[in-house]
Structure formats: structure tokens, C-alpha cells
Amino acid sequence: MTALTRRRAVDRPPLVHLLRELVTANRWYIHVLLWIAVIFMGFPLFYAALVSTQNNAQMFRLQMIPGDSFSFNLQTVLDRNIARLMFNTFAVATMITLGKVVLSIFSGMALVYFRFPAKSLVFGFILAALMVPGEVTIIALFRLVALELGWGNTWTALVVPAVASPTGVFLFRQHFASITPELSEAAQLDGAGPLQFLLRVLVPLSRNTITALVVIMFIGGWNSYLWPLLIVTNPDLQVIQVGLSTLDDGVEIGRTWGPIMLGAVIASIPPIAIFVLMQKQFLQGFALTRSK
Amino acid sequence: MSAFLFTILASALGALVVGAILKRRGRGLRGGMALGAIAGLLGSLATMIPLQYCVLDPEHHMFFKISVLGGTITVNAVALLGILLVIVVAWAFALAIDRLRHHWRARSGTVWQADTAPGTFVGYDFSPWIFLAPTLVGLVVFTYYPAAQNFFLGTQIARRGVAKTAFNCLDNFASLIASRLQDAHYYILSDGFVWHAENARYLAVFGNSLFFSVFIVIVANVLGLSIALLASQKIRGASVYRTLMIWPYAISGVVVGIVFAILLGGGGSGFMNQVLRLFGAEPVPFLSDPWWARASVVAAAAWNKLGFNVLIYIAALQAVPLELMEAAAIDGANAWKRFLNVTIPMISPYIFFVVFLNLNYSFFDLYAVIDNLTEGGPVNATTNLVVDIIRVGVESRDIGKAAAQSIVLFMVVVGLTYVQFRVMGRRVTYGAD
């Protein structure tokens, strides 16, 4: 059977040619298809950027060149305090990310570099929380945070419930477990305590894992919508995702789309920038969560 | 008295069922019957004592009707849910007892194995707990406690903003599919489908969630893999193409919803409809027709996730060894056959990974997209499970019913996770390194 198929292959172009064709398929139609895909993917945000320079009349006229209302729209979103919203979002997302990274490093350290009873049970207890998405608990969490803890309308309510991260603990545990134990043995021989070992050895060795977690968590924190929508009603404390729909100029009947789209574009710049610049680390983070 | 009867009955049924199952598996009948009786007893006690045997109380009964094969059956939903609950819990008890028995038998004589991991710090008994404390406290207070609270609130009459609650049996659950009025919920069973005839809102909401997840997964994966196949080829500027296509993943659901609202909304004068008119087509009611609105949500969500899928699939395709392709080519496989028989099996771990991430996304994370694109409309046509929980719990202030719905959603997570572990464990590991 194999002999038969092999004989048939002789009639085909030599293997070298075939492989070269496979590897450097630089055909024009692939580029055309890829450009179609790029345009298809980019069009919605491109159009949003276009509308952010227009007024409603230009937008409904389907004007496909930039309009003359950019400065008006910019003034409107500035009047609606987009700077405040952006700052709030940045502060909240940074606090969440920082909290998650620090707590996860400590937990991962405890799970790898210490011996204590019921360790695997503790790890299982942390991992099991992955099974409970925030949407499942949101009603009871809202009751707990707003009614029992009285944290309504505070950043505490936005940050504190989010800082314990099973994903982060898992990521760091796996990473620390892949580091050779000889390092910590050497550190102990040199008289270093756990904290010293953590700061001097583990953190420098974990730069990639930390970056991966920061990218994932910062984008997640920046984009969160439902929880702030429920728990924060004070516009001075609100985040950009909830604040976007308030960026109307409030004069025209119905929504003025220009300022809202300008806000949407501005709100999308930080997460896109981070994601595009750090895509390698982001992928590594996912590779880490996948490997056993 | 009826409570006593209920418990005996559960125990006897458990003995019969488990005994029969274990006998067919070639294990002892008597042991199986004993296990079943204990499981039935424990299962009924563990569920009915917290519920105070309320499912037997006519005051809490709710009904729905099913029309099937010409006949009509009236079903008591509370009793049905109570029985299902007992069966599930008793089943869990049976599995746990069986597992424990094996465990003990296997472990008899061996001491608990000491953890002798190298490189651990010696002499710090307390430190690990201090390191773990913030994470553990955070998870207990903000994840596990609310999750447990859901189970309590689900059985209560609870209003938003009111601290006091009152026991309500399983009525919050039953009212999702049934009513005190015997004719209010009427289901027609035909050709294997359940069509809701009247007032069966929750079933429709559940259907919306299923619709979104199935079609978002299909669209985002077929397109994602196709684009990745193009972009993973060694062509000039491949990394540029990749960067130009992956960024929508970082965009928030709110922005996706708002942007698609201006593209598809606005009725006949909206962007897409004006474009369609240029080609001489009739205007399409993208956001005002139920099916078009659902399709619009799918399009927006799939667009959002496409970049991520492309990124993962490109990484997957680049990991396929070239020698395999070469071998297949030598054996005379054409491009399509190589794709089907080499590429797909090699990247199957990634396919499952992406599919389950997309499934999770479309079940749980669509709120921002839907809220900003269709607001769940027209008339609940795009309301999914999460949107409905917020509707009921926050806007209608019915915390009890929203908690009951949250538990249904939790069951979906449990099901998805179970399937994920089964599939990942069985089929997919061979390709992963």
C-alpha cells in the first residue's frame, strides 16, 4: 500500500518544490483575502472613529469622510468629564490588577515553597472558585456588599471583591513549580528567608508570568461593566464603561452619537494598546494556564 | 406522617434502583441495596429537612400543562422539582459513599503520605497561612459565601433593599416554569421540541442563551480558523496581519454594543440599511425583528471574540510539525485532506480550548453587549439568562427569584465544566505536550 502511494508521488513535482510551495505561499489572492479580513475586523471601530468627527446630520447622511464636529464633540465629552471617568477607570483597574498580582504571588509561593497540612485541599478550594463565575453570584454579592457591608458607591466595592484571583494563583503556582527547587535550597543555605527569596529570586524570575497576568487582569478590570453599573451610582466615582452612554450633549432629541463614539474610541485606546504591545506575553499566559 | 412516608419511600426506591444497577454491573445485590437505601435516606433528609418537607404542602404547589400526543398532562412543578432534587442529592451521596469505601479499602494499612517536596522552607509553620489568608478570605467572603447565600435566598421571599426574608419553599424555582393558575403555563410537545404556548417566558430566555452560545461558537470558530489558516502561512507581513486582526478582543462589551448599535440600528436610515439601499436591497429590521436582533447580538459578540480565536489558532497552526504535512503530501493527500486528517486532529486541543472559552463567554459575559445593543429587546427576544437575572433581581427587585435563576445558571456552569473535563480528559490530551 505504501509502496503504491509512494510510486504515485513520483509523478508529482519533487518534494522540495512542494514544500517550498507550502511554506512560502506568497500568492496574491491570500493577501487580498487577508486584507478583506483586516478591513472586516477593523471597520466597526474605524466607523466609530469617523462618527466621532461628525454631527448627527452628517452621520445619518452616511458621510464617509471626517466631519467638522470633532472639536465640538471633544468639548462635549470634556464637559461631561470624560477625564474624570478615564482616571477613575485607570485607578480602579490598576488597584484590582495590583491586588490580584500581589495576592496571587503570595498564595502561589505558599503552595509551592511551604509544607503544611491539607495543602492539596487548599489548592482545590481555590481552584473550585473558577467554577463560580461572577454572574452567578452577582445578586447575592450585591446584597452582601450594598446591604450588609454598606459599601455602595465606594471604590472599595469595586476593588476588594475582585482581588482574590484563582486564575492568578494557578498561574503562579504552575510557574513556581516549574522552577528548579535547587534555587530555594541554595537560598536557604545562604540564610535567606522566604520573603527575601520571594523578592530577590522569584519575582525577577517571574517577570513574564507577572506581565501576562497584568495584561489579562488590567484589560478585564478596565472593561468591567455590570458590577460598577450596579454598585456605583455617584457619577464622580463611576468608570468609563458605564459613563459612556452619559456622554450625550443633552441638547438634541435622541442620542448625539458623535460624542458617544469619541468616548468609545478614547475608552478603547488603553486596552487595545496594551493588548497589541503585549500579545506575546498574553499568549504565554494562556500557554501557562494550559500546561499541566 | 407524610414526611415519614416520604423518607421511607425515598430510601426504598434508592435501594431498588442502586441494587439493580450494581447487580447488572456484576456486584452484589445486597451491598447495592444497602448503599441505595442509605443514599436515599441521606438524600431525602439532607434536602427535605432544610426545606421543612414543604414540597408536600398543597399551599406551595404550582402547575404547568403539557400537551403531548393529543393528551394533556398537568404536572405539579414543586413536587417534580422536589423529587428531582432528592434524586440528584441521593445520587451524589451514593457516588461519594462508594468512592469513600474504595478509598478506605485501598488505603487500609498505609499511612498518609508525608509531603517531601524538595526546596520547601523548613521551620515556617505559620507563614504559608499568612500568605494564603487574603486570597482565602477574599474567596470565602466574595465568592463562596454569596454562592451559598444564593441557595438560601432561592427559597425565600426576598426583596431588594429589604433585609428581612420569609420562607417560600421551591416556589421561586417552580414559578420559572409553572404557575398557581393551572392554565397559565401550557407547553406543546411535538417533534421532540417543547414549544411554549403561553406565559413561558423563562424557557424562551433559556432558549436565547442556547441560541447565542451555539451560533457565537460556530461563527467565531469557523471564521477564526479560516482567517488563521490564511494568516499563519509564511507570507510577507504575516505578523502585521495578525496584529491588525487581533485587537478587537481588547474592546469592551459596552463599546462593541454601542458601535454595532450605530451600524445596525437607526431603522431604515441606519448605516447598514443605507449601504444595503445602495445595492438596491430592502431595509432589514436588524434590531426590531426578534430573529434579526438575535443575529445582530451574535454578529457583535462573534466580532469581539474573533481576534482572540485567530490569535490562538495561529499559535496552534504554527505548532503543527511540518514533517507530518510532508508525510501526508507524499502519501498523496491534497490540501483539503491534509487539513481534515492532519491539521484538525493536531490542533484539536486548541479547538476545544477556544470553544469552551467562547461558550463560557456567550453564556456569562454577554450582558454589556446586549444591554448596549438591544437592551434585551424587542420584547425579551435577546434577553439571556444573565440579563434576566439583572431584570428580575435589580429592576423588579425580586431577589428570591433572581437567586433561583442564578442557581439555574450555576447548574449550566457545572454542566459545562463536567463536559469540558470529560472531553479534555478523553480526546484531546494526546496533542498537548
pLDDT at A292: 33
Q: How far is B211 from chain A (nearest CA, A)?
A: 19
Per-residue confidence band for B6, with pLDDT thresholds at 50, 70 and 90: confident
CB contact under 8 A, A137 and B163: no
Q: Is A182 on the interface with B (CB under 8 A)?
A: yes
Of B261, B205, B283, B257, residue with least CA distance to B367: B257
> What pLDDT does residue B208 have?
92
> What is the reported pLDDT for A137?
93
Which of A107, A144, A219 minimises the CB distance to B132? A107
Position A19 scores a pLDDT of 52
- How much is the pLDDT for A18? 52
Q: Report all structural domains of chain B as residue ranges with CATH numbers, in order of start.
A: 3-197 (no CATH), 203-427 (1.10.3720.10)
pTM of the model: 0.86
pLDDT, tens digit, for every residue of B299-338?
Answer: 999 999 998 898 889 888 888 888 888 888 888 888 888 8
Query: Looking at beta carbons, which residues of chain A come within 8 Å of B331?
Result: 2, 5-6, 9
Asked if B104 and A98 touch (Cβ cutoff 8 Å), the reply is: no
Q: What is the 3-state secondary structure (H, E, C) of B390-426?
A: HHHHHHCCEHHHHHHHHHHHHHHHHHHHHHHHHHHHH
Q: Does B251 touch chain A (CB under 8 A)?
A: yes
Counting one residue from chain A and one from chain B, the pairs whose CB atoms sit within 8 A come to: 309
The pLDDT value given to residue A3: 45
- For residue A29, the distance in angstroms to the closest alpha carbon of chain B comes to 10
Query: What's the pLDDT band for B112 if we cut at 50, 70, 90?
Result: very low
The pLDDT value given to residue B336: 84
Q: Highest mean pLDDT range out of A11-20, A25-34, B341-350?
A: B341-350
The DSSP bridge partners found for residue B265 are: none
pLDDT for residue B432: 37
DSSP bridge partners of A240: none
Residue type, A207: R
In chain A, which among 104-163 make CB contacts under 8 A with chain B? 104, 106-107, 109-116, 119, 122, 125-126, 129, 131-144, 147, 160-163
Please name the member of A129, A271, A286 whose beta carbon is closest to the beta carbon of B143: A129
Q: Is the dihedral of CA A158, A161, A166, A171 positive or negative?
A: positive
pLDDT mean across residues, chain B: 85
Helix extents (H) in chain A: 2-11, 15-23, 28-51, 56-60, 70-79, 82-113, 119-128, 134-142, 155-159, 166-178, 182-189, 194-197, 203-205, 207-223, 226-231, 240-243, 257-277, 279-290
B179: which residues sit within 8 A by CB, 6+ positions away?
A: B62, B63, B64, B185, B199
pLDDT, average across residues B346-372: 90
A16: pLDDT strictly greater than 60: no
- Residue B198 pLDDT exceeds 80: no
SS3 content of chain B, % helix, strand, coil (to 5): 70, 5, 25
Question: What value does the mean pLDDT take over residues B33-55?
Answer: 87
Q: Is the pLDDT of residue A113 over 50?
A: yes
Q: Does A29 touch chain B (CB under 8 A)?
A: no
Task: Flag if A143 and B134 touch (Cβ within 8 Å).
Answer: no
Over 50: is that where the pLDDT of B113 sits?
A: no
Nearest to A41 by CA among B309, B103, B215, B170: B309
Between A256 and B306, residue with greater pLDDT: B306
Contacts of B306 (CB under 8 A, 6+ apart): A41, B220, B223, B224, B227, B245, B248, B249
* Residue indicated by cell numbers 454577554: B366
Average pLDDT, chain A: 84
The alpha carbon of residue A109 is apart from the nearest alpha carbon of chain B, in Å, by 8
> Taking CB atoms and an 8 Å limit, are B139 and A166 in contact across chains?
yes
Indicate if the alpha-carbon torsion angle A23, A28, A33, A38 is positive or negative.
positive
Subunit contact A15:B315, Cβ cutoff 8 A: no
pLDDT in tens, B177-186: 888 887 778 8
Bridge partners, residue B66, by sequence: B73, B187
What percentage of residues in chain B have a pLDDT greater than 90? Answer: 28
Query: Is residue A97 scored above 70 in pLDDT?
Result: yes
Identify the pLDDT of residue A94. 96
Percent of residues, chain A, with pLDDT higher than 70? 86
pLDDT of residue B433: 33
Contact across the interface for B134 and A103, Cβ inside 8 Å: yes
More confident residue, A248 or A286: A248
* pLDDT of res. A14: 54
Q: What does the DSSP 8-state code read for residue B159?
A: B
pLDDT at position B238: 76
Asked if A57 is an interface residue toward chain B (Cβ–Cβ < 8 A), one would say: no
Q: How far is B181 from chain A (nearest CA, A)?
A: 28
DSSP state of B179: B
Determine the 3-state secondary structure of B432 from DSSP: coil
Asked if residue B295 has pLDDT above 50, the reply is yes
Question: Under a CB-based contact definition with an 8 Å cutoff, are residues B170 and B82 in contact?
Answer: yes
A18 touches chain B (CB under 8 A): yes
* pLDDT(B128) > 80: yes
Percent of chain B past pLDDT 70, that is, above it, reads 93
| CA B370-B371-B376 angle, 5° bins | 65
Which of A40-44, B192-196, B292-296 comes out lowest in average pLDDT?
B192-196
What is the band of A283 on the pLDDT scale with cuts at 50, 70, 90?
confident
B408 pLDDT exceeds 90?
yes
Find the mean pLDDT for residues A70-76: 87
Max mean pLDDT range (A162-166, B60-64, B109-113)? A162-166
Q: Which residues have CB under 8 Å from B283's CB, separation 6+?
A: B267, B268, B273, B276, B277
The more confident residue out of B300 and B280 is B300
- pLDDT tens string B223-247: 999 988 888 777 777 778 888 888 8
- Between B213 and B114, where is the model more confident? B213
In whole angstroms, what is the distance from residue B313 CA to residue B304 CA?
16
